[in-house]
Structure formats: structure tokens, C-alpha cells
């Protein structure tokens, strides 16, 4: 069995925007059967197909990808923390109900992650009970909330409640905050900016005390946590001789790193091998970023290239994902 932890949905339609919100509210401009532009802030953020909302289309494509089950989460741009609290909560609840409906339609094939209005961390914490009541396994968040890293102390009420509710968090890069320093075409923000965003967000969970304050917290970092795994040896080298770093991280940074999960959407088996060797075979999960990216090789082909044993294949293929989701293997 193979479970893909990193897939996204976009609903076929959105409800009418609340009064006063205007174009910040998403809108689906259907241009052809099975195709639509996702309109946000008056522009086409992305053209998508019915892969985003059709369960039958998804299920028909799973065998060709070597995937048996998927974890569904919103397209990250839909986690619009710039909306007012009321509008953000309304949008999150709509997304949560849409994903819960998809999961309920095919409970043996899909698991769901929802959204919360993280622009207000305490309100986000309160919404987690509703997430759980819908049967969702956790939430997806982005790597910054209007420019603030998720490890900032203002988000501790959210993180503590995630732990208390026994939910999980999938953290996805979005909206790099340093694009003025990127040189070249706009897509450099994706190619370079997103991995840097992941790196900063993951580091903030260490240095902001989130992992120390919330033992047992289950977080999966998208795209292998960006550049963070490569920086971890440097952080460990500097940590012992710096009192401030030791105060921020009382334990070896590797201990915190091995408390997180990582998808292996890193586009090179050598990078996957490094991730497994550094973080442990029990911390790495299969991902794809479906339907916005496609795997170059199937998971089984990747396992062959990595020389994984049968037990290691099971760990990366599905056991780790179920542990992240908090789902029994039975």
C-alpha cells in the first residue's frame, strides 16, 4: 500500500463572497468543461482541471501513479490569512466541509486535512474541535501568516490545542516574504523562494519553542522542509557553544528534527536518501503535490533506486503517514 500525504483540492464552486470582501474571496471562472481559472484578488491565480474536485478523476489516475490512497488538503493559496477574521473563518469552514464530503464519499481511499483562520491564533484553536468533529485528521497551514513565522509565540495557543485535540499539521510553503531580493523571472519565487520559506518556518518551530512546548506534536513539512535538512548540521555545530541557542533549544536540534515528518517531494533520489539518513526512515512520507505536480517515477521505482528493505518500504510508503495522521493500522 502507498499513501500520498501531499495532494490538494479546489472546490468546483465557491459560495458568494461575504459583503464587503470583494475580489479577495476566491471565485471559479469555468472556461470549459472540467477546467476553471481560480480567481483571487481579481487575477487568475491558477488554471485547474477537475482533478481538483472530481473524485472519480482522482481515483482513475491513482493506479498510474502507483498510489493507493491520498491525503486531501486545500490548495495553499486558499488559506488566505489576509481576509478578515469572519471571512477567513467562513472560507475555512466551507473548505473543511468540502473536504469532509469528499472523504465521506470514499473513506477507504482518502483522508482529509482542513483549514483554520490562523490570522487569529486563538480563534484558529477554537475551530479545531469542529475540524475533528468533521472526521478530518488535522489542518494545513502555510509557512508564514501575513509575514509572521508559525513558530512565533503568538501562535502557541493554536499549537497547544492541536496537540490537545490529537490532530496533525501539514505545513506548506506559500507567499515568500523576501521576493524583492529574488533576481530573474517571477517563477523564481516558486523555485527558490518556496524552499527558503520552508526552511525559515521549520527553523522557527525549533527556535520559537513550539516543539519544546508541545511534546507529541505531529507536523509534516512539505517538500522535505526545503533547505532545512542541509542546514541542520550547521545548526548542530553552532548550538553547543551558544548560550542563547541553547536557551531557545534546550535539546539537541537533531532531537527536534526527528520529531517532525517530511514528505519526499524533493525531485532527486539522492536528496531522498539524505533525508532518510539524517531524519530516519520512520520520519519520511510519500508525497506528490498532485494535481499541480506529477511524480517522475512511481514510489516503488524510487524504493528500488534507494535500495530500501521491505520494512523500510512499508514505513515510507504508508506506516509513517498513518502515524502522522493518527490513524490506527488495523
What's the CA gap between 218 and 166, in Å, rounded?
8
On whether residue 118 sits in a domain, the answer given is yes
What pLDDT, on the 0 to 100 scale, is given for residue 23?
Answer: 85
Residue 73 lies in a domain: yes
How far is the C-alpha of 52 from the C-alpha of 325, rounded, in Å? 22
Q: What is the pLDDT of residue 63?
A: 93
**pLDDT for the residue 20:** 86
Neighbouring-strand partners of residue 46: 38
DSSP assignment, residue 290? Answer: B
Distance CA(20)–CA(57), nearest Å, equals 36
Give the whole-angstrom CA distance, residue 173 versus residue 204: 14
Cβ–Cβ contacts within 10 Å for residue 94, how many?
16
Residue 236 is placed in which grid cell?
548542530
Q: DSSP letter at 54?
A: -
- In the chain, the number of structural domains is 1
Give the model's pLDDT for residue 145: 96
Residue 169 backbone phi and psi in degrees, to 5 = -130, 130
* Residue at 293 is within a domain: yes
The SS3 of residue 115 is coil
Q: Is residue 279 domain-resident?
A: yes
Q: Are the C-beta atoms of residues 158 and 124 closer than 8 Å to each other?
A: yes
> Does some domain include residue 42?
no
Q: What is the DSSP letter of 145?
A: B
Range of the domain at 135: 3-9+51-325
Q: What is the pLDDT of residue 237?
A: 94
Measuring CA to CA, how many Å separate 158 from each of 129, 177, 204, 311?
A: 12, 22, 15, 35
Q: Which residue is listed with cell 506559500? A: 174
C-alpha–C-alpha distance, residues 227 and 78, integer Å: 25
| Domain-located, residue 300 | yes
pLDDT of residue 187: 84
For cell 470549459, the residue is: 32
Residue with cell 509572521: 148
What pLDDT was estimated at residue 175?
86
The count of residues in the chain is 330
What local confidence, expressed as pLDDT, does residue 153 receive?
96
Residue 126 CB-density burial (10 A; 0-12 exposed, 13-18 middle, 19+ buried): middle
Q: Where are the alpha helices (DSSP H) in 165-193?
A: 188
pTM of the predicted model as reported, rounded to 2 decimal places: 0.96
Residue 166 in any domain: the answer is yes
In a domain, 113, yes or no: yes
CB 222 within 8 Å of CB 181: no
CATH code of the domain containing 250: 3.20.20.140
Q: Name residues of the chain where pLDDT drops below 70.
A: 330
- 290 and 7 Cβ atoms separated by less than 8 Å: yes
Which residues touch 245 (CB under 8 Å, ≥6 apart)? 207, 238, 239
Mapping DSSP to helix (H, G, I), strand (E, B) and coil, where does residue 183 land?
A: coil
Enter the C-alpha cell of residue 79. 488559506
Amino acid at each position: 500500500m502507498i499513501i500520498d500525504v501531499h495532494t490538494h483540492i479546489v472546490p468546483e464552486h465557491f459560495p458568494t463572497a461575504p459583503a464587503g470582501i470583494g475580489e479577495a474571496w476566491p471565485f471559479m471562472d469555468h472556461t470549459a468543461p472540467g477546467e476553471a481559472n481560480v480567481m483571487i484578488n481579481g487575477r487568475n491565480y491558477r488554471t485547474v482541471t477537475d482533478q481538483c474536485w472530481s473524485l472519480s478523476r482522482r481515483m482513475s489516475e491513482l493506479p498510474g501513479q502507483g498510489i493507493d490512497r491520498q491525503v486531501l488538503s486545500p490548495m495553499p493559496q486558499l488559506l488566505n490569512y489576509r481576509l478578515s477574521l469572519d471571512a477567513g473563518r467562513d472560507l475555512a469552514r466551507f473548505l473543511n466541509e468540502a473536504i469532509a464530503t469528499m472523504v465521506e464519499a470514499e473513506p477507504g481511499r482518502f483522508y482529509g486535512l482542513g483549514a483554520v483562520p490562523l490570522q487569529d491564533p486563538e480563534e484558529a484553536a477554537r475551530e479545531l474541535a469542529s475540524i475533528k468533529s468533521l472526521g478530518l485528521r488535522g489542518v494545513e497551514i502555510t509557512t508564514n501568516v501575513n509575514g509572521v513565522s508559525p513558530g512565533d509565540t503568538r501562535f502557541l495557543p493554536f499549537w497547544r490545542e492541536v496537540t490537545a485535540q490529537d490532530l496533525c499539521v501539514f505545513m506548506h510553503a506559500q507567499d515568500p516574504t523576501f521576493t524583492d531580493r529574488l533576481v530573474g523571472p517571477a517563477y523564481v519565487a516558486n523555485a527558490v523562494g518556496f524552499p527558503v520559506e520552508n526552511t525559515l518556518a521549520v527553523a522557527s518551530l525549533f527556535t520559537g519553542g513550539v516543539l519544546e512546548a508541545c511534546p507529541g506534536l505531529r507536523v509534516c513539512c512539505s517538500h522535505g522542509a526545503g533547505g532545512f535538512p542541509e542546514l541542520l548540521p550547521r545548526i548542530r555545530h553552532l548550538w553547543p557553544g551558544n548560550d542563547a541557542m541553547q536557551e531557545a533549544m534546550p535539546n539537541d536540534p537533531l532531537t527536534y528534527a526527528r520529531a517532525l515528518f517530511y514528505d519526499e517531494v524533493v525531485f532527486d533520489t539522492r536528496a531522498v536518501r539524505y533525508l532518510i539518513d539524517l531524519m530516519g526512515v520512520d520520519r519520511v512520507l510519500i508525497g506528490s503535490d498532485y494535481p499541480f505536480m506529477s511524480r517522475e517515477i512511481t514510489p516503488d521505482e524510487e524504493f528500488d533506486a534507494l535500495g530500501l528493505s521491505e520494512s523500510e518500504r512499508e514505513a515510507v510508503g504508508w506506516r509513517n503517514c498513518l502515524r502522522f495522521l493518527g490513524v490506527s493500522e488495523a
